[in-house]
Structure 1
Amino acid sequence: MPAIVGNITILSVGPSSIVHIGDAIQLAPQSTSKTFAGAGSFNTGDAVQTYNAVSSTNTYDADIADTNAVSANGAGVL
């Protein structure tokens, strides 16, 4: 179902990012990564205020594989 999209701002696009505006059946990134960040790290907006008195990020992960990427035959957007 089509939607009306208002103003958007794209500040940067990483090497394995997908930027798509409109209808799509499947969006398939070609790589995966793991990121650790504390409270309030990925807030977005024009006037963000965060109040974090005590923050701790647990980076211990005993898994062997977290994100198993499967090839989509080179198709990023279907």
Structure 2
Amino acid sequence: MPAKVGAVKIINISSSSIFNIGDVYSMSPRSTAKTYAGGGSFNTGNGIRISLNNSNTYVNDSDKIDQTIT
């Protein structure tokens, strides 16, 4: 069934988002990210104590490209 849409004002759309007006079968936003983090980097909660002494994160990425977006 066709969609009827009135006036639309777009303020901002980020680079990995989708804006659609009307009927759609499939939507597929595409974005890639690579994150390097050391031990204890993504811990969340109340009262967490982490003792890592000397923590280092070594990264060796020889291919440089993991996922291309076309």
State the TM-score, normalized to the length of structure 2: 0.47
